[in-house]
């Protein structure tokens, strides 16, 4: 799997054949200029992958056969979700990309008081495509899930039911992220709430406090939203790796 391109596919049939359609087929044929004998990594986004060889190209379909099944990737020791206040344009794209590259399992776009307008379906679809491209670039067999945008209140209610929740915020009573991690039971799911430009409002901070959600700090300097996503997810991913 040293250099083969990653292509999202459905699991192979019982005879070991793979049929690639849609954008992924067009990417193989037109961008990568695949021909019979071309090899790639087909992955299902759920942790399974196969080294495959192209056998035929049709109009909008590429046929391939499995040459080798890759060792499946187990679910992460810590399933890390990030709920991020929506910021403008390419900066949100960047936040999605870096969350995926650094290992987040899911990404929730948040509608907050200081955030921008609610994104349309097309914007969410774009973020899903960015997550796919990032998975290919970082060679991860599990896709980061992109949820539909929602209010902070509804996201918080759902996330509290699935595991610990932290809020990334520069407050006088915030606790360093490494210190909070030291008291975390693994395995499990953790959700990080990260604010938009301007952070969370006083009312939103009070909402977190009413649920006894700790404020996690990442140093003295204020960070842009997309930078905070990359730093927080990268830090936690490395802390988890150090526990292995």
63-82 CB burial, b ≥16 within 10 A, e <16: bbebeeeeeeeeebebbbbb
Cα–Cα distance for residue pair 10/20, rounded to 1 Å: 8
**CATH 2.40.240.20 residue ranges in the chain?**
6-69
Q: Parallel, antiparallel, or unpaired for β 78-85 and 106-111?
A: parallel
pLDDT at 73: 85
In whole angstroms, how large is the CA radius of gyration of the chain? 20
Residue 146's DSSP bridge partners are: 107
CATH class, range 6-69: mainly beta
Residues of the chain with pLDDT under 70: 1-2, 244
Q: What pLDDT was estimated at residue 2?
A: 59
Backbone CA torsion sign across 57, 132, 150, 87? negative
The confidence score (pLDDT) of residue 101 equals 94
What are the two backbone dihedrals, phi and then psi, of residue 112, each rounded to the nearest 5 degrees? -125, 170
| pLDDT recorded at residue 163 | 92
156 neighbors 130 (Cβ within 8 angstroms): no
- Cα distance between residue 169 and residue 213, in whole Å: 11
| CA 75 to chain CA mean position, Å | 13
Range 78-242 has CATH code 3.40.1280.10: yes
Using the Cα atoms of residue 153, residue 154, residue 158 and residue 159 in order, give the sign of their dihedral: negative
Question: What pLDDT, on a 0 to 100 scale, did the predictor assign at position 120?
Answer: 77
DSSP assignment letter at 49: E
Task: Report which of 242, 230, 243 is spatially closest to residue 103, judged by C-alpha positions.
Answer: 230
CA distance 51 to 67: 6
pLDDT digits (tens, 9 = 90+) for 35-44: 999 999 999 9
Instruction: Give the residue range(s) of CATH 3.40.1280.10 domains in the chain.
Output: 78-242
């Amino acid at each position: 799997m040293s250099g083969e391109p990653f292509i999202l596919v459905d699991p192979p049939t019982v005879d070991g054949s793979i049929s690639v359609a849609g954008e992924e087929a067009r990417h193989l044929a037109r961008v990568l200029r695949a021909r019979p004998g071309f090899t790639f990594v087909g992955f299902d986004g759920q942790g399974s992958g196969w080294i495959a060889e192209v056998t035929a190209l049709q109009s909008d379909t590429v046929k391939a056969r499995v040459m080798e099944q890759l060792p499946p990737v187990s679910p992460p020791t810590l399933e890390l979700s990030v709920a991020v206040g929506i910021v403008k344009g390419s900066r949100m794209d960047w936040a999605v990309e870096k969350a995926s590259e650094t290992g987040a399992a899911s990404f929730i776009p948040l509608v907050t008081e200081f955030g921008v307008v609610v994104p349309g379906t097309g914007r969410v679809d774009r973020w899903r495509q960015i997550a796919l491209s990032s998975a290919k670039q970082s060679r991860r067999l599990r896709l980061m899930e992109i949820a539909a945008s929602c209010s902070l209140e509804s996201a918080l209610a759902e996330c509290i039911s699935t595991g610990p929740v932290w809020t990334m915020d520069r407050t006088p009573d915030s606790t360093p992220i490494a210190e909070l991690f030291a008291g975390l039971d693994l395995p499990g799911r953790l959700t990080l709430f990260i604010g938009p430009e301007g952070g969370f409002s006083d009312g939103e901070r009070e909402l977190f406090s009413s649920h006894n959600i700790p404020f996690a700090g990442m140093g003295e300097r204020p960070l842009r939203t997309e930078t905070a996503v990359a730093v927080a997810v990268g830090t936690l991913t490395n802390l988890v790796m150090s526990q292995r």
